[in-house]
């Protein structure tokens, strides 16, 4: 049973922040509720007040900013992301990722902002968005600020969001010529066991730079800087070959990974290295097509 709570439906960001402040530390923001209501039901969290933010217009929708960035409102559902023409055109890997999150019921209800705010270590979007260089926008009593995904997620079920702050949008950098992005995962029981996000830039037939992020194998999504550095300067054609991929994947050997019921740390390291190869090939193919 979920403990008794009061529900406040906020009509604006100002109303939401004011209601949270009035809650004196015993309030929480509610969007899809797929994670929040579950932990409350399990007795792992208790709040006297839930502030429903679904009706706040500026928190929903997918647009292109004047800078070219793709902007996703925090209460936009995974299903909306999966079906969005903008996402399918500008960030197709994100649309494909959204289509495999949990199940249809969760995708129709769960929101991107809620997923990131919960900071569950087995989050699909967090890993991919970290590789993409995405940022989250927070609003609270102190005003507005932006954080990178790795700055926002502090650890398992923990973020660097101030208590009164509300995540309002996610900004994905504008697509660029020669850029390719990809995400690969293997999942058991609807949650990824290991996942890898890759972003590469290709110019003049070479990989100029790469960002590699892993998820579900550590307490929080992590950029594997050495893997990205190992890809820099590799001919794009050779990136599909075992040699360059294997050398870059060697960076995974030094990671301290977390084993769980789905596999030991060594097993997850091998999974991540394999997924990295698949993601890298896909990202390079996309980059070459757009170069």
155 plus 121 within the same structural domain: yes
Mean pLDDT of the chain: 92
Of 149, 172, 195, the position where a domain reaches its end is 172
CATH number at residue 33: 3.30.43.10
Q: What is the pLDDT of residues 62-99, one digit of tens each?
A: 999 999 999 999 999 999 999 999 999 999 999 999 99
Q: Give 177: exposed, middle or buried? Use CB within 10 Å, 0-12, 13-18, 19+.
A: exposed
| Whole-angstrom distance, CA of residue 185 vs CA of residue 183 | 7
Are the C-beta atoms of residues 108 and 79 closer than 8 Å to each other?
yes
What are residue 82's DSSP bridge partners? Answer: none
Of 142, 172, 202, the position where a domain reaches its end is 172
User: Percent of the chain at pLDDT above 70?
Assistant: 99
Reply yes or no on whether the pLDDT at 241 is more than 70. Answer: no
pLDDT band at 291 (very low <50, low <70, confident <90, very high): low
Please name which of 192, 219, 222 lies closest in space to residue 123, comparing C-alpha atoms.
192
DSSP 30-51: ESS-TTHHHHHHTTS---SEEE
pTM of the model: 0.94
CATH number at residue 225: 3.30.390.50
Residues near 237 by beta carbon (within 8 Å), at least 6 away in sequence: 205
211 plus 189 within the same structural domain: yes
**What mean pLDDT comes out for the span 240-253?**
83
Number of domains in the chain: 3
What does R_g of the chain's alpha carbons equal in angstroms? 19
Of 136, 155, 172, the position where a domain reaches its end is 172
CATH number at residue 87: 3.30.465.10
What are residue 222's DSSP bridge partners? Answer: 214
Reply yes or no on whether the pLDDT at 29 is more than 80. Answer: yes
The number of CA neighbours under 13 Å toward the Cβ of 287 is 29
254 plus 231 within the same structural domain: yes
- Residue, of 254 and 181, whose pLDDT is higher: 181
102 plus 17 within the same structural domain: no
Q: What is the pLDDT of residues 164-220, one digit of tens each?
A: 899 999 999 998 999 999 999 999 877 899 999 999 999 999 999 999 999 999 999
91 plus 32 within the same structural domain: no
pLDDT value of position 81: 98
Parent domain of 27:
6-52
The one-character DSSP state at 121 is T
pLDDT value of position 163: 85
């Amino acid at each position: 049973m979920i403990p008794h709570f009061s529900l406040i439906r906020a009509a604006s960001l100002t109303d939401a922040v004011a209601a949270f402040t009035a809650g004196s530390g015993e309030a929480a923001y509610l969007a899809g509720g797929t994670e929040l209501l579950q932990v409350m039901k399990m007795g792992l969290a208790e709040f006297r007040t839930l502030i429903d933010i679904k009706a706040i217009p500026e928190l929903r929708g997918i647009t292109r900013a004047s800078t070219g960035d793709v902007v996703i409102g925090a209460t936009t559902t995974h299903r909306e992301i999966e079906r969005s023409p903008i996402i399918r055109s500008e960030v197709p890997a994100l649309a494909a990722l959204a289509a495999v999150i949990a199940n249809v019921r969760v995708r129709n209800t769960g929101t991107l902002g809620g997923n990131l705010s919960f900071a569950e270590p087995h989050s699909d979007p967090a890993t991919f968005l970290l590789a993409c260089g995405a940022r989250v926008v927070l609003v609270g009593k102190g005003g507005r600020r932006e954080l990178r995904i790795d700055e926002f997620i502090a650890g398992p079920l923990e973020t660097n969001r101030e208590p009164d702050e509300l995540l309002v949008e996610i900004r994905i950098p504008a697509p660029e010529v020669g850029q390719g992005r990809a995400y690969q995962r293997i999942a058991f029981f609807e949650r990824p066991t290991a996942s890898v996000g890759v972003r590469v830039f290709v110019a003049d037939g070479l990989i100029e730079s790469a960002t590699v992020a892993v998820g579900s194998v550590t307490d929080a999504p992590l950029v594997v800087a050495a893997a990205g550095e190992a890809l820099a300067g590799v001919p794009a054609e050779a990136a599909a070959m075992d040699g360059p991929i294997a050398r870059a994947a060697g960076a995974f050997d030094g990671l301290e990974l977390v084993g769980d019921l789905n596999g030991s740390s060594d097993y997850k390291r091998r999974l991540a290295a394999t997924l990295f190869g698949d993601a890298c090939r896909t990202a390079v193919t996309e980059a070459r097509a757009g170069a």
